[in-house]
Chain A
């Protein structure tokens, strides 16, 4: 199985901050990497697919980059609704696997 490791596991930030979340794959997954946002008590919501493509309807303050084994999710200016947990997911190989999540909390 491909192991996905996210860092940090949690972070505290303020509205307006720029934040970056990292995801590392245990082997080369090219750009087969997706990012999801999950608010408490809700289902995950697709933000970014194929490493850098913004899902329709997702604000442009979200961006993704990377290829191979190292990927990042950046939020350019945190908004109140962005305080949530973020997961990366590889779709290179079965079984599909997810990172452990990064919780973004209000400072």
Chain B
């Protein structure tokens, strides 16, 4: 059973860059046929898909965020990462890293989530 764990700063200042890492255990991030996604959830609200990366390194982003986000992977560390630039208070949320199989965007494994607050 694959396990995912998010890490990164819990507080980011407005206009700066948010950077998070997801460490994957129990499976190879680059050796399989899975996609690795980021999803976020503002407090008390719904879920927003941010984007995904495949084992090959190819990425797909939510058009609403595309200009500000980058997802990358580090196969040597079995990790994938998210950066969000020029953050505002609207980027305050719990950020989840997830796994889905290559046959479809079905999120069958999730990290516990990490709260990121954007505030000065």
| Chain A residues near B (Cβ < 8 Å) | 32, 34, 36, 42-46, 49-50, 55, 87, 89, 91, 94-101
| Chain B residues near A (Cβ < 8 Å) | 46-49, 60, 62-64, 96, 104-108, 110-113
Bound complex: CA A36 to CA B46 (Å): 12
Say yes or no: A43-B113 contact (C-beta < 8 A), given A34-B106, A55-B108, A91-B105: yes
Say yes or no: A44-B62 contact (C-beta < 8 A), given A91-B105, A98-B48: no
Say yes or no: A98-B47 contact (C-beta < 8 A), given A32-B104, A91-B104, A91-B106: yes
**By DSSP majority rule, is chain B's interface helix, strand, loop, or mixed?**
loop
Please state if A101 and B46 are interface contacts (CB–CB under 8 Å): yes
Please state if A89 and B104 are interface contacts (CB–CB under 8 Å): no
| CB closest residue in chain B, given A33 | B106
Say yes or no: A87-B47 contact (C-beta < 8 A), given A43-B96, A43-B112, A95-B62: yes
Please state if B110 and A45 are interface contacts (CB–CB under 8 Å): yes
Count of A-B contacts judged by CB separation below 8 Å: 49
Most buried by A among B47, B48, B63, B112: B47
- Which 6 pairs of residues, A with B, have the shortest CB-CB distance? A43-B110, A91-B105, A96-B49, A98-B47, A95-B62, A49-B106
- Residues of chain B within 8 A of A96, CB atoms compared: 49, 62, 105
| CB closest residue in chain B, given A4 | B46
Bound complex: CA A46 to CA B104 (Å): 13
Please state if B60 and A94 are interface contacts (CB–CB under 8 Å): yes
Bound complex: CA A45 to CA B111 (Å): 10
Please state if B104 and A100 are interface contacts (CB–CB under 8 Å): no
